[in-house]
Amino acid sequence: LLFVSLLFGWQSLHPILLSFISYVLLFRKDRSKVGMIVFVYSMAHLSYCHLFRMINSSSGHLLDVSTPMMIIMQRTTLVALWVQDNYVKNNDTRPPSILQYFAYCFFFPTVLAGPTVDFEQFKRSLSGSILRNFKISNPNTMLSLAVIFLFLEIEIHNKTALIK
């Protein structure tokens, strides 16, 4: 959130507003259509920002907040569809907490250019359960890769030492 606000100034209110209103929409009484409702709202907000940029930009190319908003639009829609699927399949009526939701929407390494990951996978990576079942299938392969990278590093270091 801080990263986006430092880059885009007052324009960073648009992704915050988009995320917050989409989060509020998750608390509708009937969640069987919440995915479509959040998608339509997010697309309308994103379209407004694109049109505003096209009308007010005379140079043609301008760094503005619409790029991260496209990523955030995908994420808000994915969370809404996740809530809708859980509601329809399991009658689970709990949307994510606001901290989980904003952490997912404004995840620092992917907020500017993606990729968008599934919300369930994001939750598993936060809890650490995604790594609990991780096992190295063949330790010799890992050792071979480590040796290859070591030799590559030595070779690159020798080449750069000869150039100087």
Q: What whole-number percentage of the chain has pLDDT above 70?
A: 83
DSSP state string for 33-65: GHHHHHHHHHHHHHHHHHHHHHHH-SSS----T
What's the whole-model pTM score? 0.71
Reported confidence tier of residue 152, pLDDT bands at 50, 70, 90: confident
How remote is the C-alpha of 95 from its chain's centroid? 17
Cβ proximity of 17 and 74 under 8 Å: no
Domain spans in the chain, listed from the N-terminal domain onward: 1-133, 137-163
CA–CA separation, 31 and 27 (whole Å): 8
Mean of the per-residue pLDDT values of the chain: 81
Cβ proximity of 19 and 95 under 8 Å: no
